[in-house]
Amino acid sequence: MVTSLARPSRRKKGRERRDPDATRRALLEAGARLFPEKGFDGVSVEDLATRAGINKALISYHFGGKRGLYVAVLESAFVEMAERLRTVEDGAPDAREGLHLFLRAFEDMTRGRPDFPALFLREAVSTGIHPAVLPHLLSIMRVTRRLAERGHREGLFRRVDPVLFHFALVGALGFFFATEPARRRAAPHVPFKQPTAQAFIHHLEEMTVRGLAPEASSETKKKSKKRKGARS
């Protein structure tokens, strides 16, 4: 019996030595599930190793420790988000479709990585933006800047501050998806129907387009007032 138990352990160690990429992926997945739920301090090295199914010493070997793994989880999420947004930006025929695809990309990202919004908000509130994450965050902000500028060129938006445009979109998206688990828990106790992600995305898109629509010219305003006066 002792011999039969020892053999799987040796095979497991062999797999760890032969497939370091699989070990890294398992640790990243474990961190992506545990850190958003419990926070950095609430997750132990033992928790991560057990979730990943590996020897805890490999956390230090691959990431230099728990903090290194935490940063790697954050960075991988932002890399993926930035790549998704650049892809949809390249494929958008106009600014209106670009806005739609931007919002949907964020939703799709959170479906594949539900840890992403909560993990980022927790990190931003507790310690600020980690330097490893900053280049990817700036890449995302450049996408929203170009979307705001394109919308202005195409007559979809009036001229807006691109930084405020970024925070309005990403802030709303991040808060909505980060609080989704809390809304599910509260659903039996609140007197209204919980909004779906699709309904929220549609609302945010319409609110952005209508709220940032170009202002009418002075000549158009004069004509509108004359028409109203004639009707009265």
For the stretch 105-116, pLDDT in tens is: 999 998 888 878
Buried b (16+ CB within 10 A) or exposed e, 30-55: bbbbbbbeeebeebeeebbbebbebe
**pTM of the complete model beyond 0.85:** no
Q: Which residue has the tokens 């940063």?
A: 71
pLDDT tens profile 212-221? 999 864 444 4
Q: Which residue has the tokens 């790697």?
A: 72
Contacts with 49 (C-beta within 8 Å, 6 or more apart), sequence order: 30, 55, 56, 58, 59
The residue ranges of every structural domain in the chain are 73-214
Contact 144/166 with Cβ under 8 angstroms?
Answer: yes
DSSP state letter for 64: S
Q: Which CATH superfamily is domain 73-214 in?
A: Tetracycline Repressor, domain 2 (1.10.357.10)
Contact 140/77 with Cβ under 8 angstroms?
Answer: no
Tokens of 206: 């319409």
**How far from 111 is each of 59, 88, 102, 104, CA to CA, in Å?**
27, 17, 15, 11
2-6, 68-72, 149-153, 189-193 — which is least confidently predicted? 2-6
